[in-house]
Amino acid sequence: MSSKKLGLNTICTHSGSIEDKTFQGSVSPLYMSTSFNFMDVDTKRYPRYFNTPNQEHLSKKIAALEHAEAALIFGSGMAAISATLLTFLKSGDHAVIQNDIYGGTRNFIESHFANYGIEYSFTKDLSYKAFEDCIQSNTKLIYIETPSNPLMKLVDIFAIAKLAKNHKIITAADNTFASPIIQNPIDLGIDIVMHSATKYFGGHSDISAGAVASSQEIMDKIWSLAKDFGGNLSDYTVWLLERSMKTLGIRVKAQQRNAKRLAKFLEKHSAVKTVYYPGLKSNEYHSLAKIQMKGYGAMLSFELTDKYDAEKFLEALTLIKPSMSLAGVESTMLLPSKTSHALLSEFDRATQGITDQLIRFSVGIETKKDLIEDIEQAISASNPKK
Ligand SMILES: *Cc1c(COP(=O)(O)O)cnc(C)c1O
């Protein structure tokens, strides 16, 4: 089956599944073996080599979804991201890193790059010029993450990919927030796409995994480092992830439909100062989103007006859970100022627009009216601020 011609939900359901030739069961058999007959195949199979039957097959689904030639599945998003960065950055190299990126990635860069002799610059903002300004003669990699956390700012993927190509620099994009259902950076010229599969791929808040997709040539390079770092995922979880990914398309679309309605509801609400969601016509990234995304995603942020107490609001929610993670079928909210961005100084948070009133909302698949009711009652419970 050539996946190019298949529709998204068909790829989700069928691509890369393993035929059960012994019992003709309808789902992929799970192969837990860590030991395989070496006389059987050219490549020796071993979990840490990323080539057990379940790993190899699920990689095909991920590659098909990202319009890539090949993919690898890791034990976490950070395992995928760190292996990718260290494959292409050596001592004396320099990387240009987008300013607003996932905290764990930022921490990895700031805590460990110096030990490897790798230089880096964070961009001033998300504009083309900010990326261009950071490029040096030893720049080897440009790293982006769009939409960004928590304000859903977008980077012009095509423009940055072109800028990098002009300078013969490799590009890597963290596509976790959009998912391949909504955005395919490779189609826009990006070389490598990474995912925290803990988020939308898993989708039920019960799997830790990561993935990288790219050309076969690039994936071979990443593989040769990754097999030595040993960040593979156990086959049982690979199998579970395959099951989750069958519904990736319908889940993300249902979550996105809710997000769009909730964004509109919040935008009109008198207790809400600002809503950050690229799907709103009023959003500064709306036209760019239309060009580079196939929708607007299911993540949004909003700011309560000063009359309301954001912490009380979160405590008062009964259906929506206060939670650090995101992308599950259940709706969750968090305060970036108290969680993901707590380590930044108050000044840095303020300049980035992350106020104490800002709430990040990972929209789930619940019935819209129940989500709205929960938000309404929590708003009432957190007013007036004393
Ligand atoms: C969660 C996340 C990661 C890290 O993934 P883990 O699976 O937690 O290692 C990386 N990037 C983004 C955008 C994320 O949301």
What's the gap in Å between 107 CA and the centre of ligand 1? 12
Among 73, 74, 102, 109, name the best residue to mutate to test ligand 1's pocket (greatest count of ligand atoms within 8 A of Cβ): 102
| 381/335 Cα distance (integer angstroms) | 17
Q: What is the mean pLDDT of residues 148-159?
A: 96
The tokens for 130 are: 């900010």
Query: In this structure, are residues 62 and 213 in contact, taking their beta carbons and an 8 Å threshold?
Result: yes
Q: Which long-range contacts (CB under 8 A, 24 or more apart) does 187-190 make?
A: 187/67, 188/157, 188/158, 188/161, 188/292, 189/157, 189/158, 189/161, 189/162, 189/165, 190/144, 190/157, 190/161
Among 152, 195, 198, name the best residue to mutate to test ligand 1's pocket (greatest count of ligand atoms within 8 A of Cβ): 198
The protein residue with its alpha carbon nearest to ligand 1, atom 5, reads 77
What's the gap in Å between 78 CA and the centre of ligand 1? 6
The pTM of the full predicted model, rounded to 2 decimals, is 0.96
pLDDT score for 343: 79
Whether 243 is catalytic is: no
| 125/153 Cα distance (integer angstroms) | 10
What's the gap in Å between 177 CA and the centre of ligand 1? 9
- Closest ligand 1 atom to Cα of 198: 7
Q: What is the mean pLDDT of residues 264-287?
A: 98
- Closest ligand 1 atom to Cα of 145: 13
- The one-character DSSP state at 273 is E
Q: What is the mean pLDDT of residues 286-313?
A: 97
Whether 121 has a pLDDT exceeding 90, the answer reads yes
pLDDT score for 385: 58
Whether 174 is catalytic is: yes
Q: Per-residue pLDDT tens for 91-112?
A: 999 999 999 899 899 999 999 9
The protein residue with its alpha carbon nearest to ligand 1, atom 2, reads 196
Query: In this structure, are residues 257 and 133 in contact, taking their beta carbons and an 8 Å threshold?
Result: no
Please tell me which residue in 45, 61, 100, 102 is annotated as part of the active site.
102
The protein residue with its alpha carbon nearest to ligand 1, atom 4, reads 77
Query: In this structure, are residues 81 and 108 in contact, taking their beta carbons and an 8 Å threshold?
Result: yes
Task: Identify the structural domains of the chain with CATH numbers, from first to last.
Answer: 3-245 (3.40.640.10), 249-381 (3.90.1150.10)
Whether 106 is catalytic is: no
pLDDT score for 346: 84
Quickly state the pLDDT bin for 268 (edges 50, 70, 90).
Answer: very high
The protein residue with its alpha carbon nearest to ligand 1, atom 1, reads 196
Whether 126 has a pLDDT exceeding 50, the answer reads yes
According to DSSP, the residues that pair with 122 across neighbouring strands are 97
Alpha carbon separation from 383 to 272, 308, 311, 313, 319 (Å, rounded):
12, 5, 11, 9, 19
Name the helix (H) or strand (E) containing 384: none
Q: Per-residue pLDDT tens for 2-59?
A: 445 899 999 999 999 999 999 999 999 999 999 998 876 677 899 999 999 999 999 9
275 φ, ψ (degrees, to nearest 5): -120, 130
Whether 386 has a pLDDT exceeding 60, the answer reads no
Query: In this structure, are residues 106 and 98 in contact, taking their beta carbons and an 8 Å threshold?
Result: no
Whether 61 has a pLDDT exceeding 80, the answer reads yes
Strands 210-214 and 192-196, by their bridges, are antiparallel
pLDDT score for 1: 47
Whether 140 has a pLDDT exceeding 80, the answer reads yes
pLDDT score for 28: 97
Query: Ligand 1 pocket: which residues have CB below 6 Å?
Result: 76-78, 102, 104-105, 145, 174, 176-177, 196, 198-199, 208, 210
Q: Per-residue pLDDT tens for 204-252?
A: 999 999 999 999 999 999 999 999 999 999 999 999 999 999 999 999 9
Please tell me which residue in 46, 48, 261, 385 is annotated as part of the active site.
48
Name the helix (H) or strand (E) containing 95: strand 94-97
Query: In this structure, are residues 188 and 157 in contact, taking their beta carbons and an 8 Å threshold?
Result: yes
Please tell me which residue in 61, 153, 199, 349 is annotated as part of the active site.
199
Q: What is the mean pLDDT of residues 59-81?
A: 98
The tokens for 342 are: 């707590």
Strands 299-304 and 272-276, by their bridges, are antiparallel
What's the gap in Å between 196 CA and the centre of ligand 1? 4
347 φ, ψ (degrees, to nearest 5): -65, -45
- Closest ligand 1 atom to Cα of 209: 7
Q: Which of 178, 182, 223, 179 has its CA nearest to residue 69?
A: 223
Whether 303 has a pLDDT exceeding 50, the answer reads yes
What's the gap in Å between 105 CA and the centre of ligand 1? 8
What's the gap in Å between 36 CA and the centre of ligand 1? 32
What's the gap in Å between 178 CA and the centre of ligand 1? 12
Whether 296 has a pLDDT exceeding 70, the answer reads yes
Q: What is the mean pLDDT of residues 295-323?
A: 96
Please tell me which residue in 174, 191, 235, 309 is annotated as part of the active site.
174
pLDDT score for 38: 82
371 φ, ψ (degrees, to nearest 5): -65, -45
Whether 384 has a pLDDT exceeding 90, the answer reads no
Q: Per-residue pLDDT tens for 335-378?
A: 999 988 887 788 888 888 899 999 999 999 999 999 999 999 99
Cis previous bond, 336, omega within 30: no
Percent of the chain past pLDDT 70, that is, above it, reads 98
Q: How close are the terminal C-alpha atoms of the chain, in Å?
A: 62
| 54/31 Cα distance (integer angstroms) | 7
The protein residue with its alpha carbon nearest to ligand 1, atom 8, reads 77
Q: How many helices and strands (H and E) does the chain possess?
A: 13, 12
Q: Which of 349, 330, 378 has its CA nearest to residue 150?
A: 349
